[in-house]
Amino acid sequence: MQVLKFGGTSVANAENINKVVDILKNKSVEAPVIAVVSALGGMTDTLQQAGELANAKDQQYIQLWESIKERHLETASQLGLGSETKDEINQRLNELKEIYHGIFLINEFTTKTRDKVLSYGELLSAFIISNCLKNELDGTELKDSRELIVTDSNYTNARVMDDVTSQNIRSYFKNSTARVTLMPGFVSKSTEGETTTLGRGGSDFSAALMAAALKASVLEIWTDVSGMYTANPKLVKQAFPIAEISYHEAMELSHFGAKVLYPPTIRPVLDLNIPILIKNTFEPEAEGTLINQSGKLDFGPVKGISHLPNISLITLEGSGMVGIPGISKRLFEALANEKINIVLITQASSEHSICIAVQSGDAQRAEEAISNEFLFEISLGKINEAIVEHGQAIIAVIGDNMKNHQGISGKMFSSLGKNNVNIRAIAQGASERNISAVIQARDVKKALNTLHNRFFEKQRGTLNLFIVGTGNVGKRLLDQIAQQWEHLHDQLYLNVKVVGLSNSRTMIFDEEGIDLENWEQLLSEGNKKDEETWFNTIKELNLQNSIFVDITANEEVANSYSNYLRESISIIACNKIACSSQYSKYEQLKYLARKYNASFLFETNVGAGLPVINTLNNLVNSGDKITSIEAVLSGSLNFIFNNFNAETTFLDIVKKAGEEGYTEPDPRIDLSGVDVARKILILARESGYTIDMEDIENISFLPDASLQPGSVDQFYESLKEEEAHFQKLYVEAADKENRLKYVAEFRDGVAKVGLQQIAKDHPFYNLDGKDNIVLFYTQRYSDQPLIIKGAGAGAEVTASGLFGDIISLGKN
């Protein structure tokens, strides 16, 4: 005998019922089938609501009854059932209407009447499905569960009389010749002959009773998912079904939100070690989840991660609790008297405080019960008033085999800590099957994804990028990410997603990742850019490993960095403004990054794609001390002076540098030396020195006329008019066989930038094209400097520098 139970979603409409019929036809070929069915999806709540309206003297109950009637008749019509079946449905629904009318008249909706009302859901669905199946399969019978399942008179949550129920079931099916027996779940009958219901999960319970009485080889629960998942697939996209799991693990997961199974109802099969198979009505070929005594021991220490939403945390503390027997007893009895369920308990070893978690709907009553119980101690100041914290949730890591593996809790809490998920309370049973933690509700999705990644995904890290700036560098970066995505995913175990993208005009978001093959079209159709909305959206998404990438030169964007760091959102910046602003602001950003466990990387601030800052950090962190720095830090200025000679004009070379993308749209930013001054400032600060921009001597090579304010065109005109000035600079250097280089120097706490003549024996002399070079003199590199040399400008290498920072964050 096979026992199958179909939930509300499986029989929600005609289309789904047809799927159930196909399953039952196929199953009946193997052996006789008992099919226990729930009410049409959501129908129990509708029946309840109509009764409450009638009880409240609200005649809208009639409209709700009409909708109940319409839904059942429409389902029957869509299934092709005849007038005889519809007449029976009408008759039963008219009986229901009379019951509602009686409730309306006497203004009383007792538990006994409630059971009678709610029973119509399962009774009608079983009637409809059985008639549909009879048209498809000979040997189909409908059996009213109330004739087999006998209970006490505890209406809405009746207790089953086990012996007589089991005897009834065995006696009936001993003589049954049906291929498929359809039965309504949830409903039963008291010893007095009145309709009762089995409470929450009642249809599961009905099926479990059948399987236990008949000692079935397996109980199949058919629902709308392909088994029990490693995490809620609606919140964790990478979650997958668990092939095999133990009873205890399944009950833990079900308690913490896995809705496919209600633990108390499967007790009859658990006692007899009858396996339970969770199957998907909409994917019947899917393997599903097998629940048995041992589970699959070689799966791994953690079987699943789940959560309970809508939790409030209540803390009772005070010196008057220390060493006083009976405090816990009084606390729990006070809550028990109010029928308040405690979800989690933790107590400090000092006995100074007890912390409990309850459903948020019970929090106010719990607070009042505790206050009343300890009113005397509170009045004396020996115990403080209970502290209630709302907006909490519980996450749980579950697995029978966790007790045999060290470090599970360490991995759990370190992973959460790295993503700034604050833990308010922790509980772990002696069985070590479950480690639970209370966190803020807003962090649930981030926490589940973080833990799922840690325990199930080959340590493949997910990076969620929010990129501002889609100019030359931004475009190249997006191209590089798209090109290297597969390599990062397969070789470095990094899943890099661009979740947010904006320019100065529009912005777009896609939590699943923006299509990088079509990002320009998507961005052009995006919402109007607004800095506040942009930041708030990132904050509300609250994704694990969120990274803000600034590819602008915008001061407003730079000034917003502290907001991101305070939300534990890492920053990768091409923008130099933040790190070259007042030292106090620079130091604050460093402090916030440490405090909120976020990274603040800005490698491209100095050498584009060159590892200048990273090398400097390694020197300092290893205990070396920087004594001096000499550098050519402007790829654009190096390009200009490498190409400027007596046969060219300075203006033409400057324009060519702009066309090649080596200078900013306003070349004065490069030619004024301000950009180089910012770079040497950043290097000095990263070397451990306190220094500001006004401390740097900037020796300009531009004539006074070119330093005057005005438009870019006016600046170009001044360069044309001052060509003799620039030719003089070139000739003076050439006569000495020197080359012109714009050099930054830092020595003995003093920094300066300016144009210098470089002799042939200097390392800077042969620096060609747009290359940069940095010489670090340190206590360890005192005679011969550590030299870094390479391309220091251009969109492609700058993008690669940003990409390098992204990969660095992912690997860490």
Task: Give residue-wise pLDDT tens across range 434-476.
Answer: 899 999 999 999 999 999 988 887 666 789 999 999 999 999 9
The two beta strands, 150-151 and 461-468, are unpaired
Dihedrals phi, psi of 158, to nearest 5 degrees = -70, 145
For 52-71, the three-class secondary structure string (H helix, E strand, C coil) is: HHHHCCCCHHHHHHHHHHHH
Checking phi first, is residue 344 left (phi over 0); if not, alpha (psi -120 to 50) or beta?
Answer: beta
Non-local CB neighbours of 156 within 8 Å, separated by 6+ positions: 111, 114, 115, 118, 197, 199
Amino acid at 722: E
Distance, in Å, from the CA atom of 412 to the CA atom of 406, rounded to the nearest integer, reads 12
Dihedrals phi, psi of 380, to nearest 5 degrees = -90, -5
Kindly give the parts of the chain with pLDDT less than 50: none
Instruction: Note the pLDDT tens digit of each residue in 65-98.
Output: 999 999 999 999 999 999 999 999 999 999 999 9
Burial of 90 (0-12, 13-18, 19+ CB in 10 A): middle
Instruction: State the pLDDT at residue 513.
Output: 95
How far is C-alpha 657 from the geometric centre of its chain's CA atoms?
Answer: 45
Asked if residues 395 and 307 have their Cβ atoms less than 8 Å apart, the reply is: yes
Packing angle of the helix pair 43-55, 83-106 (nearest 10 deg): 40
Instruction: State the pLDDT at residue 458.
Output: 66
Residue 679 appears among annotated catalytic residues: yes
> What domains are defined for the chain?
2-216 (3.40.1160.10), 304-456 (3.30.2130.10), 461-607 (3.40.50.720), 612-790 (3.30.360.10)
Instruction: List strand residue ranges (DSSP E) for 132-285, in order.
Output: 140-142, 150-151, 180-184, 187-190, 195-197, 219-223, 244-246, 276-280
Asked if residues 699 and 755 have their Cβ atoms less than 8 Å apart, the reply is: yes
Asked if residues 583 and 776 have their Cβ atoms less than 8 Å apart, the reply is: no
Catalytic residue among 97, 446, 679, 770: 679
Q: Where are the alpha helices (DSSP H) in 357-470?
A: 363-373, 375-379, 408-418, 444-456
Determine which helix (DSSP H) or strand (DSSP E) holds 347, and give its type and residue range: strand 342-347
Instruction: State the pLDDT at residue 176.
Output: 93
Nearest to 358 by CA among 341, 372, 370: 341
Tokens standing for 782?
């005192």
Distance, in Å, from the CA atom of 452 to the CA atom of 439, rounded to the nearest integer, reads 16
Determine which helix (DSSP H) or strand (DSSP E) holds 75, and give its type and residue range: helix 60-78
Checking phi first, is residue 193 left (phi over 0); if not, alpha (psi -120 to 50) or beta?
Answer: left
Dihedrals phi, psi of 435, to nearest 5 degrees = -115, 120
**Angle, vertex CA 145, rays to CA 144 and CA 149, nearest 5:** 145
Distance, in Å, from the CA atom of 441 to the CA atom of 421, rounded to the nearest integer, reads 10
Distance, in Å, from the CA atom of 501 to the CA atom of 520, rounded to the nearest integer, reads 10
The two beta strands, 353-359 and 626-632, are unpaired
Instruction: State the pLDDT at residue 298.
Output: 65
